[in-house]
Each structure stands twice: as structure tokens, then as C-alpha cells.
């Protein structure tokens, strides 16, 4: 994972922070049995996605080419079975 910059952009951090606040609001109002407050929190969650998308369109997210390059993971090392000695 070293060198992987997936999600380390202002757009990602802002969108996730707003969505997290929305989940907290929705969870609190769900416990208090207030449906209107719950749906207001869910609207904040959606707002987080919209804000993150707008910021990405403004150039504050990861460029598509960089996202393709960093999305490949390292190959997984495999071992031979223990009984495979010849």
C-alpha cells in the first residue's frame, strides 16, 4: 500500500467528512425516534457525495489517469505445499 494515494485528496476528505457527519446526525435521530431528523441526516450524507463530486470536477480530486496507475496491487507471493518435496 506504500505509495498508493487513493482517496488522499481534498475532494475525498471533504466528501467523506460531510457524509460521516450525516451518518452521525441520522444515527442520533434514529435513536431518538425522530424520522424527520433521520432523513435530514441522510440528506447530509447525499450532500457529502455531491460536494465531493463537484470538488473532483473542479480538479481537487485524483486525475483519472493517476487513479488507473495506482489501482493495481502488488502480486501475491505464494508458497509450495509442504508435501511437495521431491
pLDDT in tens, 17-34: 999 999 999 999 999 999
4 touches 49 (CB < 8 A) = no
Q: Is the dihedral of CA 21, 24, 27, 33 positive or negative?
A: negative
Q: Who wins on pLDDT, 26 or 80?
A: 26
In a domain, 2, yes or no: no
- Is pLDDT above 60 for 15? yes
| Residue 14 · residue 51 · CB < 8 Å | yes
Query: Closest Cα to residue 53, out of 86, 1, 18?
Result: 18
Please report whether residue 46 resides in a domain.
yes
State whether residue 80 is helix, strand or coil. Answer: coil
**Structural domains in the chain (count):** 1
Please list, in sequence order, all residues whose beta carbon lies within 8 angstroms of the beta carbon of residue 67, skipping any fewer than 6 positions away. 6
**pLDDT digit string, tens, across residues 49-76:** 999 999 999 888 887 765 555 555 555 5
- Structural domain for 45, as ranges: 10-58
pLDDT value of position 8: 84
Query: Is position 81 within any domain?
Result: no
Amino acid at each position: 500500500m506504500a505509495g498508493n494515494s487513493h482517496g488522499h485528496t481534498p475532494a475525498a476528505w471533504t466528501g467523506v467528512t460531510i457524509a460521516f457527519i450525516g451518518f452521525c446526525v441520522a444515527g442520533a435521530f434514529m435513536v431518538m425516534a425522530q424520522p424527520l431528523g433521520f432523513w435530514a441526516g441522510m440528506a447530509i450524507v447525499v450532500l457529502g457525495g455531491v460536494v465531493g463530486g463537484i470538488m473532483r470536477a473542479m480538479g481537487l480530486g485524483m486525475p483519472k489517469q493517476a487513479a488507473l496507475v495506482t489501482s493495481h496491487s502488488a502480486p501475491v507471493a505464494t508458497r509450495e505445499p509442504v508435501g511437495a518435496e521431491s
